[in-house]
Amino acid sequence: MGSFKDLIVYKYAFELAMEIFEESKNFPKLEQYSLTDQIRRSSRSVCANIGECYRKRIYRAHFLSKVSDADMENSETQVWLEFALACGYIPKTKYDLFLKQSEEIGRLLGDMMNNPGKYC
């Protein structure tokens, strides 16, 4: 079955996390231990949970739990993106792009949750 790094959802999530990292370098210093840290952690956690779910795929319930965790972190990332937009730290065009990417990741994670037999 290859590696979790071969999964399209992992590739998309990793790309988004790196784009968020680059963009968040421009956030104000006063946000370093709040918004900047939170958005980086949640976006990276999507990738980490995908890696964990892949290793847990021999146990369907564990697999689903970790995919659900990845989906939860993806949703959290969307919340932090909304705060970044509202605070004026990212332009609307960047927000729209990141949100679209995150929604696609959510669809792919949803497919994993709805069709675990393809992965387990």
Specify the pLDDT at position 44: 98
pLDDT score of 33 = 87
The pLDDT, as a whole number, for residue 11 is 98
Domains and CATH numbers, the chain: 4-118 (1.20.1440.60)
Cβ(74)–Cβ(105) below 8 Å: yes
Residue with tokens 């369907």: 60
Q: What is the pLDDT along the chain (120 residues), one digit of tens a residue?
A: 689 999 999 999 999 999 999 999 999 999 988 999 999 999 999 999 999 999 999 999 999 999 999 999 999 999 999 999 999 999 999 999 999 999 999 999 999 999 999 998
Average pLDDT, the chain: 97
Q: Euclidean distance between the first and final Cα of the chain, in Å?
A: 10
What's the pLDDT tens digit per position in 15-37? 999 999 999 999 999 998 899 99
Say if residues 27 and 84 touch (Cβ distance below 8 Å). Answer: yes
> How much is the pLDDT for 74?
98
- Give the helix/strand (H/E) hosting 17: helix 8-24
Give this prediction's pTM.
0.95
pLDDT at position 1: 63
Eight-state DSSP code of residue 25: T
